[in-house]
Copies of this chain bind each other. A is one copy, B any other.
Amino acid sequence: MTSRAEAPTRRRLGPSERHAELVAAGLALVKEASLDRLTAPDVARAAGVSKALVFHYFPTQRDLQAAVARAGAEELVAEFARLDPALAYGDRLAAGLLGFITYIEQQPTSYAALSRTSGSDPQLRAIFEETRERVVQIIADAVGIDEPSPRLRLMLRGWIAMVEETTLHWLDERPMARDELIDLLTRAAFGLLPLAAAELPIPPSGGV
């Protein structure tokens, strides 16, 4: 629509590299600002490309936001997935919590916005749901359960919601040290899981 020339692209990239570059630029931006306000011009500016190019890859603002949310979710899940399986349950859970809390601390605005606005958009909602289910499965795997029962899945989702809410609230008010928060949430998990999981193969030990 505009007659303005496209900004010069810095180098030639293949489509998937370009896609990844734009998503990375968006992900860097939402460490500072809210995901639901991320726009194509922001990403174009940050990546040094034209708006038209961003629109070519992401026809709507929601497509762009969804791609960035998906990349953020991947980063977050990767935090959990790289935990040392040799650690005792309690230590692994505490390490996972530290990763999660540190991750949210780096981008509180964006995480809060995502978790609190995702319901209004089917794409974001689906990413959020899928990420929660993956985290449920990672935790179930960590305690040696391949197929969590509906009851255990429900309880794990509840615990994840608790972790998210307490972490966001903690960021606002910091009523205790980070280690204390992690300890509290780890203990909460070990208090809750036995309520839901007669199938837990062995009681958790070590680290708590």
Question: What is A's interface to B at a CB cutoff of 8 Å?
Answer: 36, 112-113, 115-120, 125, 150-151, 153-155, 157-166, 169-170, 173, 175-176, 180-181, 184-185, 187-188, 191-192, 195-196
Contact = CB atoms under 8 A, between A and B. Distances in A.
Contacts of A173: 150
Contacts of A112: 119
A124 to B, nearest CB: 10
18 contacts: A36-B120, A113-B120, A116-B117, A116-B119, A116-B125, A117-B117, A117-B119, A151-B176, A151-B184, A153-B175, A154-B170, A154-B175, A155-B184, A158-B162, A158-B163, A158-B166, A191-B195, A192-B192
Nearest to A173: B150
A194 to B, nearest CB: 9
A154 B169 contact: yes
A173 B151 CA distance: 11
A176 B150 contact: yes
Contact of A188 (B117, B158, B166): B158
